[in-house]
Amino acid sequence: MPRPAIGICAAVERVSWGVWDGYEVALAPRNYVDAVQRAGGLAIVLPPDAAAVEDPDLLLDRVDALLLAGGADIDPASYGAEPHAETKGTWPERDRFELALVRRALERDMPLLGICRGMQLLNVAFGGTLDQHLPETVESELHRSIAGTFGSHRVRLAPGTLACGAAQSEGLMVWSHHHQGVERLGEGLVVSGWSVEDDLVEAIELPDRRYALGVVWHPEEDADSPVIASLVAAARGAFCPDSDQKAPSPQGSVGI
């Protein structure tokens, strides 16, 4: 069977290497690419494209699934909020591009996985809002440790949910680095995972789609994690979570 094409939305950043300083690039961390390739997928990096904002099918016609990678804070204007002092490094062009792709991908019922910022973007795409600085809410740096490193903590997942099926576990240790999270849950989304230590939202999903999942931890940093492989399997039409158990209804969902 042909390798399914997984579109990985690229970050836009200013980087320095060699003789270049502060050079703007579109990039995707290699661990995302490696995870897709290990699972038998073809990794295709998708840089922001103004034409695709107007017509997302220009890109979506060329891939079988969409992976929203981590990265910079989302511009609070995307969800009608003023920026917090700790909201930094936003790239509105990336936000517009990814929001357009998310909404159209889910109209097409294309498999979609959002990781960290990607989970937050999924929430914003459905009208949700973000807590812009979690350390003020939970009074802890548990979810964002030292700059440039990943911390670890435990997550519990609701049985019978897509998150539980993708992770193949109801409880696991995860790698994490974020300072923002779900505040008001987007319409139609359900919460399917929580941090054991403080009950912060760790996974959300759209139960009326075949595969639409957001996790705020970083499965690409764990070579043994099956989460990204589950997206590749969904792109093949081969991902089959337990159909006898249902995800919680939106009315029973909880935010932070």
The catalytic residue among 98, 116, 164, 179 is 116
Distance from C-alpha of 130 to C-alpha of 79, rounded to nearest angstrom:
8
Query: What 3-state DSSP class applies to 154?
Result: strand
Q: Is 13 a catalytic residue?
A: no
Q: Return the H-helix or E-strand segment holding 164.
A: helix 162-167
248, two tokens: 């919680």
The catalytic residue among 183, 205, 220, 221 is 220
Q: Is 86 a catalytic residue?
A: no
Q: Is 218 a catalytic residue?
A: yes
3-class SS letters over 189-231? CEEEEEECCCCCEEEEECCCCCCEEEECCCHHHCCCCCHHHHH
Residue 117, phi then psi, degrees to nearest 5: -50, -35
The catalytic residue among 9, 153, 218, 221 is 218
Pick from 29, 34, 113: nearest CA to 71: 29
Distance from C-alpha of 82 to C-alpha of 105, rounded to nearest angstrom:
28
Distance from C-alpha of 254 to C-alpha of 256, rounded to nearest angstrom:
7
Cα distances from 247 to residues 155, 158, 190, 193, 210, in angstroms, run 17, 8, 8, 11, 12
How many residues comprise the chain? 256
Distance from C-alpha of 11 to C-alpha of 169, rounded to nearest angstrom:
30
CB 185 within 8 A of CB 123: yes
- Residues with active-site annotation: 116, 218, 220
